[in-house]
Amino acid sequence: MKRFLTVENLTVVGILLGIAGGILVPDVMLSLKFIGDIFLNLLKMIVIPLIFVSIFMSIASLSSINDLKNMGSKAILYYFMTTALAVFTGIVITNIIQFDVSSIQKTDQIINVNSFTWEAFLNSLIPSNIFKSFAEGKAIHVILFSILFAVAVVGLMKNKKDPVVGFFDGSNDALLKIAKWIISLSPVGVFSLIGYVVADKGIGVILSLWQYVVVVIIGILIHAVFNLGLIGYLVGKFNPLDYFKKVREAILVAFSTCSSSATLPVSLEVATEKAKVDKKVAGFVLPLGATVNMDGTALYEAVAAIFIASVFGIELSLFQQIIIFVTATLAAIGAASIPSAGLVTMTLVFSAVGLPLEGIAIIIAVDRFLDMFRTATNVWGDLIGAKIVSRFVNGKDK
Ligand code: ASP
With residue 229 as reference, give the H or E element that holds it: helix 228-234
Residue 294 domain-assigned (yes or no)? yes
Residue 131 domain-assigned (yes or no)? yes
Residue 287 domain-assigned (yes or no)? yes
- Measured from the CB, is residue 381 less than 6 Å from ligand 1? no
Residues near 227 by beta carbon (within 8 Å), at least 6 away in sequence: 82, 85, 86, 89
- Measured from the CB, is residue 367 less than 6 Å from ligand 1? no
Question: With pLDDT > 90 as the criterion, what percentage of the chain qualifies?
Answer: 33
Task: Count up the domains in the chain and report the number.
Answer: 1
Return the higher-pLDDT residue of 41 and 293: 293
Indicate if the pLDDT at residue 103 is higher than 60.
no
Residues near 181 by beta carbon (within 8 Å), at least 6 away in sequence: none
Range 188-208 average pLDDT: 78
Indicate if the pLDDT at residue 116 is higher than 70.
no
Residues near 204 by beta carbon (within 8 Å), at least 6 away in sequence: 103, 104, 105
* Ligand 1 atom closest to 339 (CA): 1
Selection from 99, 85, 56 nearest residue 362 by Cα: 99
Residue 97 domain-assigned (yes or no)? yes
Cα 80 to Cα 49, 88, 218, 263, 297: the distances in Å are 22, 12, 21, 21, 13
Indicate if the pLDDT at residue 251 is higher than 80.
yes
Residue 263 domain-assigned (yes or no)? yes
Residue 2 domain-assigned (yes or no)? no
Distance 373 CA to ligand 1 centre (A): 9
Q: Which residue CA neighbors atom 1 of ligand 1 most closely?
A: 339
Residues near 358 by beta carbon (within 8 Å), at least 6 away in sequence: 193, 196, 197
Indicate if the pLDDT at residue 99 is higher than 70.
yes
Domain extent, residue 350, equals 7-394
Q: Name the CA dihedral angle for 82, 84, 87, 92, rounded to a multiple of 10 degrees.
A: -100
- Measured from the CB, is residue 374 less than 6 Å from ligand 1? yes
- Measured from the CB, is residue 294 less than 6 Å from ligand 1? yes
Residue 260 domain-assigned (yes or no)? yes
Confidence class for position 118, pLDDT limits 50, 70, 90:
low
Model confidence over 302-323: pLDDT tens digits? 999 999 998 888 888 888 899 9
Residue 86's identity, in one-letter code, is A
User: CA 213, CA 369: separation in Å to the nearest integer?
Assistant: 9
Distance 291 CA to ligand 1 centre (A): 9
**30 torsion bin: left (phi>0), alpha (psi -120 to 50), beta (else):** alpha
Q: Coil, helix or strand for 185? A: coil
Residues near 116 by beta carbon (within 8 Å), at least 6 away in sequence: 319, 322
CATH number of the domain bearing residue 54: 1.10.3860.10
Beta strand ranges found along 73-121 (DSSP E): none
Angle at 78 between CA 247 and CA 73, to 5 degrees: 120
Indicate if the pLDDT at residue 261 is higher than 60.
yes
Residue 1 domain-assigned (yes or no)? no
